[in-house]
Structure 1
Amino acid sequence: MSERKAINKYYPPDFDPSKVKKVKKIKKTGRASWPTVRLMAPFSMKCLQCNEYIAQSRKFNARKEVTEEKYLGSRILRFHIRCPRCNSELIFRTDPKNADYECVSGCKRNYERSTAKPNEGPKAAKNETFDQMLERLEKEDEIEQLNKDGKQKASEETGIEQLEKRLREQEREQQLIDEIDDLQQKNKQAEKRKEEVMKIDLQGET
């Protein structure tokens, strides 16, 4: 066994390395030069050839193609996989603008990811440029700040109004208490007068 694992080779005394023919390496071009990578399906899709459904996160050996297209300096990559049922080619690519993937040919996405606002359609979000997105986000931040400031002012106003209402209620309660005291005193005086009148009447009868 040790002889088979020997690394050293025998070279005869008349060996001339210049006479050995060099084998030229053929550079691979086109599809053959694309590296094979192991990946998972980024979304659930359907093969347009045989209507086979492919679940999200299913593993594939894919060919990675680096395209010349760029978005903000980052290259767009294409991935070529094979349908597990009919062996047809399915192609999808990266979408750095939306931080997602999109189908190119041979397959169809089962569920479209909506990035639009509730009041806008899906086309508005897809046609939105980077500058428009920045403007929209700045406007949203300004609106949020205005809403926060308005809520704070409203809360301050409501606190002052509540204090004023409490003071008014206390004043009314005090006025009512004073009126009740006056009425009680008047009633006592009226009862005393009645008692005096009753005594005078009794004395006159006797």
Structure 2
Amino acid sequence: MGERKGQNLYYPPDYDPKVGGLNKFMGTHALRERARKLHMGILIIRFEMPYNIWCDGCKNHIGMGVRYNAEKTKIGMYYSTPIYQFRMKCHLCDNHFEIKTDPGNLDYVIVSGARRQENRWDPTENGQIVPETKETQKKMFDDAMFRLEHKTGDEDTSKLDKSRLNKLVGRNDKVWNDDYEANCALRRNFRKRRKELEESAVNDSLLLAKSSLDINLLPENEDDRNVAALLSLRPSKSIEENQNCMRSKIMHSSALPSSSGLLSSFGGLKKEESLSKQTLKTLNLGVIVKRKCETEKLDKQINENETLNKCDDNVSANNDVNVSVNKVSLVGDYSSSGDNSD
């Protein structure tokens, strides 16, 4: 492809090969816009983020591998190795951050505008193979006794880990020896998991449509089911609310069991917010029925009293008549007896 690049260039009619190349003749740089600050010692390159960072401007996370157009500048030397600094703008805000190389530690250092996400750990703690440091390598090269002790320690470690390594190798051969069976097992598990995800998506869509929500639902677990069951059995009122309702009922009720006290107690119950309208109608109907019964009883008693009074009046009138008759009869007897004597 290199020999074809010259055919794609445009050479103007006044081009003179004696001047030099086409870029020199046109007064341009081969890197075009990337070299617009080259006179200031700045070259614009494509820089890839070496690790995860947090932007100090917008506080957002920027992952490792994100690429930027960075201004590359040489700021010093580490022995014979140059130290470069890169300045770039965050793609989420107007903040700029600067990162420089650290040849001594084979790493990158953040100068300003961001901070590194610390997720480093000791590889020896999780069983990783750690390469020897420069100090250890130098000591092994100079000290024969240290090299012998180090070699003996490595042999002892290999003997201890030999059985575990053999189990891992055997398991690997058992699982991946037959490529067809391994592929079938993976595809079988994949189909099962895909069906579960499809059913879950259908159930979630129905629930969201029923609740008129537009959120992402998390997969449910056993704890969620237990909490939902407890919430469904939870009473409508708490213990404190029930106590307050009972106190209010006692305060608004009468001490004596009378109709007025009953009405006042019902009036107090009407003030409670937890009592429904249907319950109030039922209670009022009961009061009306009770009052009607009491009125009928009072009317009955009044009728009975009136009847008794009439009977008493009749009896007293009869007694008066009898007395007057007796008196008349006595007078008549006396008169008749007097006449007879004459």
Interval of TM-score (by shorter of Structure 1 and Structure 2): 0.3 to 0.5
After TM superposition, the score normalised by the length of structure 2 is 0.29
Structure possessing the higher relative contact order (Cα contacts under 8 Å, 6 or more residues apart)? 1
After TM superposition, the score normalised by the length of structure 1 is 0.46
Higher percent of residues as strand: 1
